[in-house]
Structure 1
């Protein structure tokens, strides 16, 4: 596995997290469905938390919640497209409301939006440079980005790369900008 199943960030998860903390649930400490790979950042943010003050679950479970098969996040990229200053990372609108709320709690508790923003910044600049090269070579921008999205999908539907390219392709205003407008000089 070369990404964290809890956040989708690239890298090999180097710890096994106890979904139900072993301090509170020692009887489940070695149960396979209670153990799953997680990166250090997610594991540190999760700690021993399970639910909020209202008793609602804070985190998705990689075995019981069906997030492996479907995209759970979508990225909103706002103008100006030459240098976006604002993005939004949200639960996918096609998920049912209860699962959207769980996803919101999960990404908030693991600080995924702030972490994803750093990823977005560097990848968006790279996207602008690549699109400039595509256009210079006369390549179809949409087709090329679909290939990038498909390559990222090979890792996971919830990998940060797949979410990035899928969201770029869904944004028709951004695609119009990338395909036809003046790109910044880099």
Structure 2
């Protein structure tokens, strides 16, 4: 879960670009008349998001009384996503906005698409609103689909409005079976209230991060077997421990909540692993 900078584009400017080539005069007029409603909706969103109150925004099927959900969603799908769509350059810019193209939801896979925090199927007025759209990997996008929240505790972490990178929340423990593996879990920071931690746990479950991180850590253990076994044969458990400590501190310096940091901390704290548990 990584924080991203809010897009600098104005919602109405983006909307204008997307509908600029609408040929149907009736549709164009109805879309144009949605602008005041969009401005109001954006103000409501940006007020409620920092307060963890997005779940209080009502789902809807009509915008401004006469633009259907389908028509508004097509402003995104046909007029932003399409290869020759007028808003395609904005889509590409936002999709490339995550540092190193890493998905902010899982903090692991590569970004391939855009995700709507409030799904456009339930909240079509936010179909092309910048603060509601961010880059994500296809897997996280498919997992979330049109899921919505009905309480503060279940609001997913929002990359633009939530910061969960400054406090430790991800840990792992070594499972002492052959071959060795790890189990990942969340912990509550002393500086967090119950709501924030509940949201972390919910996000962790929703996006199946335990399974994802366990899979990647298993591959990491297999890839490091030759090196660790060589250290063990030449310098014993102490050499293994020193390598694991250096790896843990290096990963921690880059990201305290990466699965790599949690992995190497758990291995560093496992005498069983260092004394031969790493062997298949």
TM-score interval (norm. to shorter): 0.7 to 0.9
Which of 184, 206, 216 lines up with 1:89 in the alignment? 184
In the other structure, the counterpart of 2:276 is 182
1:44-96 superposed Cα distances (whole Å, 9 cap, x missing partner) = 001121215x664241111222113333321122323x4246x4322124253
Question: Under a length normalisation based on structure 1, what TM-score does the superposition of the two structures give?
Answer: 0.76
Are residues 100 and 149 of structure 1, via their aligned partners in 2, closer, same or farther at CA, if it must alter by over 3 Å?
same
> Which residue among 127, 134, 137 is the counterpart of 2:231?
134
Query: 2: CA distance between counterparts of 1:162 and 1:137?
Result: 25
Measure how far apart 1:118 and its partner are.
1.8
Matches within 5 A, 1:67-146: 67-80=164-177, 82-84=178-180, 87-94=182-189, 96=192, 97-138=194-235, 140-146=239-245
Post-superposition CA distance 1:100-155 (Å, at most 9, x none) = 22122112111222222222322233344332222334373333223323443465
Whole-Å separation in 2 of the counterparts to 1:168 and 1:182: 12
| Unaligned segments of structure 2, at least 5 residues | 1-99
1:3 aligns with 2:102: yes
Equivalent runs, 1:24-43 vs 2, <5 Å: 24-43=122-141
Deviation at 1:14, TM superposition (A): 1.2
Pick the structure with greater CA Rg.
2
In the superposition, relative to structure 1, how do residues 103 and 163 fare at CA in structure 2: closer, same or farther (>3 Å)? Answer: same
Kindly tell me the number of residue pairs found equivalent between the two proteins: 177
The answer (yes or no) to whether the contact 1:132–1:183 under 8 Å persists in 2 is no
**Aligned counterpart, 1:15:** 113
The root-mean-square deviation of aligned C-alpha atoms, in Å, is 2.8
Q: Which runs of 5+ in 1 are unaligned?
A: none
* Rounded Cα–Cα distance in structure 2 between residues aligned with 1:89 and 1:58: 21
Q: What does residue 60 of structure 1 align with?
A: 157
Distance 1:32 1:23 in 2: 16
Given the two structures, how large is their TM-score scaled by the length of structure 2?
Answer: 0.54
Query: For the Cα contact (< 8 Å) 1:18–1:29, is it kept in 2?
Result: yes
Question: Which one has more relative contact order, counting CA pairs under 8 Å at least 6 apart?
Answer: 1
Sort the Cα spacing of 1:30 and 1:163 in 2 relative to 1 into closer, same or farther, 3 A. Answer: farther
Please state if 1:50 is matched with 2:148. Answer: yes
CA contact (8 A) 1:141 1:178 kept: no
Q: Secondary structure at the match of 1:74?
A: strand
The structure with the greater share of residues assigned to helix is 2
